[in-house]
Chains A and B, each alone.
Chain A
């Protein structure tokens, strides 16, 4: 082919246009890649952030405490019967066990801090242990219990920032009745003073920045009242900044309070909390939290600086000291959090688990499966193989398509109005939840089953009819078995969807706090229970930080369950799929 001689101007214009068109092409393609990338990035962030949040919940710190189970407390009637053992005061036994570890602790406030290391509910599991083995009474046994959530998070290093530094030198210890005075020839505490000063200056800078931001916001405020309010806030922040800076630069002793970093000194098996330090860093005055085992000057000690001020953390100074002391005595172990999978819900995060929700989910899914799969497959068979093409079948089809797009919460309203208020079925029961979810899943099962039935070639039916089978026989003996893999895949996907559904179950009252897992049996279907996604919803509303992690861990558990379901569906599809 020969090119017609085109003028160079036209060629120029065409090639310019062509370049522009090619750029547009590239841009368009980039939008497509960008869209996919956006979805993938979002998925990665979603899974990554939840996985990261959940990490803290899969381990827990347990305390193994030798407890003396004396007869007076464990067996109040003294006859060793189960009834008597059940009335024992096991919390007192645990408390005595803890006090034995810290003989110096006797003040009420100190005891409150000590006993706050664990939740009183743990006494029930000690009771169960003793009731199961009455020979423990009168002896000493090791009892393992989870530490309370605040202590657990502290020991994991999540909520409090602190650092330990070993020091050498000579430190004179002068004990007067309440206070301890530590003196050194060197400026031993100078490092801590810099930490403290940096912290105060950082906060002063922050307050100053706040003040100037508020001031500029006041300039842009719409009404006079608003401007006044912003200006007064700004003035308060500025004053705070000035006072913090003064404190940082002040001469004289540096006083440690609830709004400053805290300093502890570990030496000779004891702990001293420093209350004030002289400006030159040579003298520190404090009080003994745990007594030192030796008298006289100290030559080696650990400086334990806690940067998070005590009014910004949920764990008190003393409780931190007790927790660290127990850890040093090797009584605290960090291990896999089995409680998360063996307990039902609890108000105390360290004792809360997903077992109850898991059983509830299993029971609910059983009901859903038993109802949705046969009814859905039956409907699909009827519509695909038997139904005459008339108005009624048409109406049913439109109906099913619409049901597939009805918001799930509407099914919950249906369940509440019909199953609970009209039929009088119990609220919060897996039976009702399963029925509601079955109605919701039905369209999915029907649509996928119909597709599977339609995929079976007509030759199969015709061959069956040709050798004298009735239509029912042709369908049930030949078409249905061939369509089964597709039907199963669709049903499993529908059930997986139902497993993650929350909203309709909120309507029928499955949001209650339920501390006992339902029975894994016939009676369990009518007992109040909750399911995995609802448990996630409940925990996500809880205030404690530890619940946040447990929510993420529960999500990971639920997602793994759903992945298992979907993997089963994919496996079935791959294994049995047939193409004609």
Chain B
């Protein structure tokens, strides 16, 4: 790290030097007068500095991003190579070990038994239905085989680790032997534990963080890592430095009175600008790709039963553990989440649309400039308050108040975390959104329309209701759609105030859960990244993204179409 930091500093100094040298040479070439040059002297400086700094710094940045990965790949390959003889011995021992062979046979038997029992259960399911005693009996059988399979698997693992430790113990304690042992250990690790192994080695080798354990094998592996790291680091730094020097020299040599330095520099600037606008596209692409990729992995994990995800009515991802539990097939039914999201959105809209719309009408048609001057900022403050604050308010003030109120009215099962409290508070949060968008649309309605209405003898409210609002309707619809998309994607208020129970209900006083709440629940806390449970969050994210995207596209279309009419 020190070395690359030093190189980066040196490159910066070199770049500054490039600027000065280029400028000096240009002035010298123009005999001290700028008028003899094609571009202003500074541009020659920029040009030289650009060729000095940019390629080398890009190289350094690439090293920063991928250097660690490169070292890991190379060093681990060497570790695995040195572990090959040991690995071969281990394989052969596994082959000839009688206990292991017996266990393997047992495992095959358990697998066959499970498949047969499963088939039988499926048959019972179609013949007698899910609740029948035959089905229950068949399921017990399946579970029995699964338990048997797990037992055998566990025994196999124990036996394998016994044999592995025998092999490892037999290897010599020389550095090569230790490295080979580390390599074999790494090769035998399951994928999810390899990352920890690597970071332990890196911690020992380069002092990056704390190692979770410290063994002779890890030390030996660290010793394998170190030369790679050193070589690559020095190579990259020297390379970057020489690229910078070569770039400086070449660009400096090109500086001449007729050289079009400004055009080159401006070309680079517009390239940079283009690059930054590409980031918007890259972000969208990144969102779509990551969501799609992980969602596809999720659907693969649940055997492509996409319809069960979209139309299933039971959501309990926490209990879906094993792949062949039949109970699992219904565990990823997202309908309760969709219904919960819809219910809360509906409540929020019932608050936000009337209040926001009337506020917008009042502000744009009735209010004096004085009222506008304070009322608009107040609405803006509502829009600027962080959603976590609304969540806290909903949880500690609105929720208990609504619960007590419902109890007062004789509803005994009232809870603090209810769809109603989350929806109400979310509605208030969205008021300024609706009102400022509608305000814009109402203001965009030409004054002539109003004047026409007044000339016919309409009162103000009649003009608003019968002329202005119909004219602004598409825009208002667009604004409401955007508000809906915001309500659907809102997270913190519902996480804090709506609860986590996946109830399929239309009762606003019960606690419901939403898509966003489940994403947060699934992805916070301990997680193993490859389980269907975690991946399902990405499938939910995809649903959320597609939903809001469609709402946005429709809304923007509606708004744009409307604008074209009057402009």
Contact = CB atoms under 8 A, between A and B. Distances in A.
A291 B518 CA distance: 58
A379 interface: yes
Nearest to B537: A413
A382 B271 CA distance: 9
A318 B274 CA distance: 72
B541 A400 contact: no
Interface in B154-212: none
Interface stretch (A134-142, A175-183, A249-257, A499-507): A499-507
Counting chain A CB atoms within 10 Å of each CB, the highest count among B293, B459, B462 belongs to: B459
Contacts of A548: 396
A375 B276 contact: yes
A386 interface: yes
Nearest to B547: A407
B389 A374 contact: no
B462 A31 contact: no
A537 interface: yes
A46 B290 contact: no
A407 B520 contact: no
B354 A35 contact: yes
Contacts of B460: 25, 28-29
A566 B65 CA distance: 36
Q: How large is the interface on B (under 10, 10 to 19, 20 to 34, 35 or more residues)?
A: 35 or more
Contact of A533 (B386, B519, B538): B386
Interface in B455-473: 459-462, 464-465
Contacts of A418: 286, 290
Interface in B378-395: 378-379, 381-382, 384-393, 395
A472 B266 contact: yes
B552 A402 contact: yes
Contacts of A439: 283
A451 to B, nearest CB: 13
Interface stretch (A36-44, A281-289, A301-309, A326-334): A36-44
B362 A374 contact: no
B428 interface: yes
B363 interface: yes
Q: How large is the interface on A (under 10, 10 to 19, 20 to 34, 35 or more residues)?
A: 35 or more
B69 interface: yes
Contacts of B485: 405, 407
A507 B386 contact: no
B319 interface: no
Interface stretch (B13-21, B216-224, B488-496): B488-496
Interface in A363-385: 374-376, 378-379, 381-383
Contacts of A536: 386, 388-389, 392
A53 B393 CA distance: 11
B529 interface: yes
A401 interface: yes
A470 B366 CA distance: 49
Given A29-B366, A35-B362, A396-B280, 19 more contacts: A25-B462, A39-B431, A42-B428, A374-B276, A378-B272, A387-B277, A401-B556, A406-B287, A407-B485, A407-B516, A413-B290, A413-B523, A414-B291, A424-B68, A442-B279, A470-B262, A500-B388, A506-B520, A540-B395
Interface of B: 65, 68-69, 262, 266, 269-270, 272-277, 279-281, 283-284, 286-287, 290-291, 293-294, 354-359, 361-363, 365-367, 371, 375, 378-379, 381-382, 384-393, 395-397, 410, 412, 428, 431-432, 459-462, 464-465, 482, 485-486, 488-492, 495-496, 516, 519-520, 523-524, 529, 537-538, 541, 544-545, 548-549, 551-553, 556
11 contacts: A24-B462, A25-B461, A50-B392, A375-B279, A378-B277, A379-B280, A407-B516, A410-B291, A471-B266, A537-B495, A558-B389
